[in-house]
Amino acid sequence: MRKGFALACILLVNLILASAHAQVAVGDSIAESLSGMTGDPVRGRAIVASRQSGLCLLCHSGPFPEERFQGNLAPELSMSAKRLNTAQLRARIVDASRFNPDTIMPTYYKAANLRRVGSKWIDQPILSEQEIEDVVAFLGTLNSQP
């Protein structure tokens, strides 16, 4: 009996924590910061350019003259930044499959009901809430570039 009660308590705590961190998507946007803090564009640039964490340059290209072999499978990042506002960019980073079920872009924040996930990311997001905010802040700097 105690094991069942303990398990129920653990599940309830996990449900409460998940709902506290749940993003609220309205239409094609997530207006509020996931972390409750603004992002740092310098950290965001590092995440986007990283071949270990963000992995964005596998498919996208961008203003990274120091990075060779940028992707051409997805839109150039400054084009996306000019076309979408901050809330729309955030929603697409969180879960691009919500907008295009056939996308090859991973869901960077969604952790449940995923298929073909590397063992490192089972039941956890690829990027943290703050890392997503950092990437969004960086992408926001691109929409003002010529």
Could you give the residue ranges of the DSSP H alpha helices within the chain? 2-20, 41-49, 77-83, 86-94, 129-142
Domains assigned to the chain: 24-142 (1.10.760.10)
Residue 129: what residue type?
A: E
pLDDT digits (tens, 9 = 90+) for 97-119: 899 999 888 888 888 877 777 77
Query: Encoding tokens for residue 121?
Result: 């990311």
The more confidently predicted of residues 120 and 3 is 120
Exposure of 43 by Cβ count < 10 A (0-12 exposed, 13-18 middle, 19+ buried)?
middle
pLDDT digits (tens, 9 = 90+) for 9-58: 444 434 333 433 456 778 899 999 999 999 999 999 999 999 888 899 99
